[in-house]
Amino acid sequence: MMTSATFVPDVIYLGGDIITMDDENLVVEAVAVKDGKIAAVGTKAEILQTCGASTRIVDLKGRTLLPGFIDGHSHFFQALMIADYVNVSAPPVGPGSSIADIIATLKEQVAARPLQSGEWLIGYGYDGTALSDGREANVDDFDKDFTETPLVLVHVSGHGCIMNSAGLRTVGIDANTPTPAGGVTVRKPGSNEPAGLLMENSWFPVLLALPKPSPQLLLDNLDKAQQMYARTGYTTVQDAPVDPKVMPLYRKAADEGRFYLDLNGYWESHAFLANATLGNDFRSPRPDQYRLAGVKIIADGSPQAKTAYFTQPYVTGGPGGEKDWRGTPTVTQEHMNAVVKKAYEHDAQVLVHCNGDATIDRLLDAHKAAGAPRDRRTTVIHSQFVRRDQLDDYVQLGVNPSFFTNHAFFWGDVHVRNLGRERAYFSSPMKTARSLGLRMTNHSDFLVTPLDTMFILWSAVNRLSRSGQTIGPDERISVLDGLKALTIDGAYQYFEEDRKGSITAGKLADLVILSANPMKGDPATIKDIRVLETIKEGRTVFTSSSQVEK
């Protein structure tokens, strides 16, 4: 309903479907915006009564207005980094359907931009499960064409890589290099020579050793990165964890007013433990659209790469042929306990990457050991293979999931093969979680999967795999619940539900205009809906006509 306050709006939106995501007033005819906030919602007649000479009227012409989308989990920094990387992802994201296709794509990149001696050739999106070769690539596949050029292809999970021999030499990995605890180094059969596939703690030192763009180039890429998010309707985004070396860059960008989307950053857990000067301002209002909101623990790996940590073994063994393989934790229970305890002492929110149920058990133990406070909104990132009894624990302990239903499409068939139907069909169980009253988000984990909010919604509502199989038909959710995970429940995850997430008087005018109403029509077509405009605090930050006002 319209408020009784007297004001002259800057903008009035009408003439389309306006879905507020406010349960008490879900659909309205018109919205008035003043000074970057929602001033009033109501009928067309009510809102037009407030119109003044300076008010701009936006006729939606049958299109749909929603609150701006809120990123449940992604890696914003990756959007700054990938400008010179080669996309070797599997279709439909990239051309990497076979090893030969990947090599051809890499050679095209080198032909278009010749490399200097010793310069790295870096690709992203490598996915061995999608290759028509029926196997993982290895060093021998790449050494013929890239003898002296160090090559690394970042695994689609972000938790590993494939390297050639020159790359392995450059970072000092050979037959004498031991596999670290929590790491996977696949070896050539009958040998201790690395085969090229490195996962988890075998990969993270390589990541740190790779060359980084200059700080100035990263700052210059900041607008491009924000546009990648804005063009799919996001107005609040996440970077978790933030490389400690990047924190000063974000602070500088904020001081210079370069952010126009809200960015929530999270400490890397080891750096968080080592820092002795933490304040208690993790929930404070953002004066400049960037804040450090808490800490992120990466506690296990990737289910499609067979490094997520389970209580029961993978059906098909480990990535190197290991028997009775259950995956691997990437941090100790002691580390997790220490991080969670320190975070709660400083009122810092905790995000924990947990794909396998054994890792979720570890988080719940750490939460209990720290006193199990219910008001921290501790978020289990992915919660991919949470057990039904663990969802009950979430409810009891005040823990919330951020799900990843895109997996149903990209790796649903792989999960059925590697984990069996029962576990695969209960992946990202949003329907069950909603029935238990849990607040939940849904995310892209960019750049693991593309920044595409309508695809995320489509995956949650349909749960179709690449082969067309419905991965867990009982866990399909309604379009409304899927939208809540991208809006009001996203705001809840960040303790911002009083200022974001719904089109409600007094909240920020963070809005998105869609080409169609996802709550109407065939759910199979949701992924074809386009974002036409993204509005942050009343200002257009993206429009499909490229007329951007920031």
User: pLDDT tens, 285-323?
Assistant: 677 899 999 999 999 999 999 999 999 999 999 988 899
Residue 247 lies in a domain: no
Q: Tens digit of pLDDT for each residue in 319-351?
A: 888 999 999 999 999 999 999 999 999 999 999
pLDDT of residue 276: 81
For residue 71, give the nearest of 461, 490, 473 by alpha carbon: 490
Beta bridge partner(s), residue 539: 536
Contacts of 322 (CB under 8 A, 6+ apart): none
3-state SS, one letter per residue, for 327-357: CCCCCCHHHHHHHHHHHHHCCCEEEEEECCH
The answer to whether position 59 is within a domain reads no
More confident residue, 361 or 114: 361
CATH number for position 273: 3.20.20.140
User: Which tokens hold the place of 544?
Assistant: 């499909």
Report the alpha-carbon distance of residue 160 to residue 198 in Å, rounded.
Answer: 5
Q: Is residue 121 part of a domain?
A: no
DSSP helix/strand/coil, 317: coil
pLDDT value at 68 more than 50: yes
**pLDDT confidence bin for 4, thresholds 50/70/90:** very low
Residue 420 lies in a domain: yes
- Amino acid 6: pLDDT: 80
d(CA 209, CA 170) in angstroms, rounded, equals 9
Report the pLDDT value the prediction gives residue 299, as an integer from 0 to 100: 97
Please tell me the distance from the alpha carbon of residue 93 to that of residue 460, in angstroms, as a whole number: 19
Please give the Cα distance from 377 to 277 (Å, whole number). Answer: 23
Distance of CA 124 to the CA centre of its chain: 16
pLDDT band at 449 (very low <50, low <70, confident <90, very high): very high
Q: Are 196 and 46 in contact (CB under 8 A)?
A: no
- Determine the Cα–Cα distance for residues 447 and 80; give it in Å rounded to an integer: 11
Residue 63, domain member (yes or no)? no
Average pLDDT of the residues in 67-89: 92
Q: Pick from 437, 433, 418, 440: which is nearest to 387 by CA?
A: 433
Q: Determine the pLDDT at residue 255.
A: 92
Cα 65–chain centre separation: 23
pLDDT-wise least confident of 212-226, 396-410, 421-435, 495-509: 212-226
Q: Does residue 550 carry a pLDDT above 50?
A: no
- Give me the sign of the Cα torsion angle 148, 153, 159, 160: negative
Q: Which pLDDT score is estimated for 547?
A: 44
Most confident of 125-139, 243-257, 465-479: 465-479
**Overall average pLDDT of the 39-44 stretch:** 96
12 domain residue, yes or no: no
Say what the pLDDT of residue 5 is. Answer: 53
Looking at residue 549, its pLDDT comes to 47
Is pLDDT at 434 greater than 60 in this prediction?
yes
Specify the DSSP class assigned to residue 523: G
Residue 25 lies in a domain: no
Reply yes or no on whether the pLDDT at 358 is more than 60. yes
Rounded to whole angstroms, the Cα distance separating 143 from 438 reads 50
- Is residue 336 assigned to a domain? yes
User: Mean of the pLDDT values across residues 418-428?
Assistant: 98
275-284, 474-483, 494-503, range with the lowest pLDDT: 275-284
The pLDDT-based confidence of 186 (bands split at 50, 70, 90) is very high
Determine the pLDDT at residue 215. Answer: 86
In the chain, % of residues over pLDDT 70: 98
Q: What is the pLDDT of residues 524-542, one digit of tens each?
A: 999 999 999 999 999 999 9
Average pLDDT over the chain reads 94
Provide the domain limits for residue 410.
Answer: 255-446+459-479+490-502
**Alpha helices, DSSP H only, in 113-214?**
139-143, 165-171, 204-209
- Distance between CA atoms of residues 493 and 477, nearest Å: 19
Token duo for residue 68: 């701006």
Domain count, the chain: 1
Q: Tell me how far apart the alpha carbons of residues 368 and 366 are, in angstroms, rounded to a whole number.
A: 5
Angle of CA points 276, 277, 280, to nearest 5°: 120
Residues recorded for the chain? 550
Rounded to two decimals, the pTM is: 0.91
pLDDT at 548 over 70: no
